[in-house]
Homo-oligomer: A and B are copies of this chain.
Amino acid sequence: MLAASVLLYDNPVSGNCYKVRLLLAYLGIPYERRELSVEDRSNREDVLGGLSPALRVPTIVLDDGRSLGESGAILWYFGEGTRFVPEDPFERAQVLQWMFFEQYDHEPAIAVVRFWVTHGRADEFADRLPERMEAGYKALQAMERHLERRLYLVGDRLSLADIALYAYTHVAEEGGFDLEPYAAIRSWLGRVAAEPAHVPI
């Protein structure tokens, strides 16, 4: 393929965007990046209006003009039919279970705290920080308990579930989360990072 057939509205520090870049790298799918700020969102309606319900990155546009938002949905679109989505119906649902867990419990705590801390806004949100830290550690504990007896989140190989949860877990320390007590998570992070064609955030 000479030209990229996928346009990715992207941001280099967003873990949600990184999930998509990681899967596209694993799959060898070429794409074009268009960077949007995650601080100044004033142009979102102009750029992403009609392309994505929540006007967030990542959003993709295919070469026929069809578009898709939500990192989990984009992962599923490219991942279904590959080794990253199991064929067994129950395991497929388990992959989605962890992806929904990531978006509801893990990301709104760990990614949000990381954003506040790395963008110098921890003071502004000081009243919410303890509760978000506690929620983040609760999510990490749920992962740790599960990974203590497993190599990957679902089945015995890497799936979209691992890609989705790797994204913000591997940079959780940037938000002040201490991963030291989570031996199973740290071992799993190493396994994901050792995957051939892995790319850094």
- Residues of A at under 8 Å CB distance from B? 52-55, 66, 68-74, 76-77, 80-81, 89-90, 92-94, 96-101, 103-105, 107-108, 139, 142-143, 146
Chain B minimum-CB-distance residue to A90? B66
Contact of A94 among B73, B92, B103, B143 (CB under 8 A): B73
Q: Are B89 and A80 in contact (CB under 8 A)?
A: yes
In the A-B complex, list the 7 residue pairs whose CB atoms are closest, starting with the nearest: A77-B93, A73-B97, A70-B100, A73-B96, A53-B142, A72-B100, A70-B97
Contact check, B90 vs A54: say whether CB atoms are below 8 A apart: no
Q: Report Cα–Cα, A80/B107, bound state, in Å.
A: 26
- Chain B residues closer than 8 Å to A146, beta-carbon distance: 53
Query: Chain B nearest CB: distance from A154 CB in Å?
Result: 11
B92 and A54 contact, CB distance less than 8 A: no
In whole angstroms, how far apart are the Cα atoms of A107 and B105 in the complex? 12
- Whether the pair A92, B76 counts as a contact (CB closer than 8 A) is yes
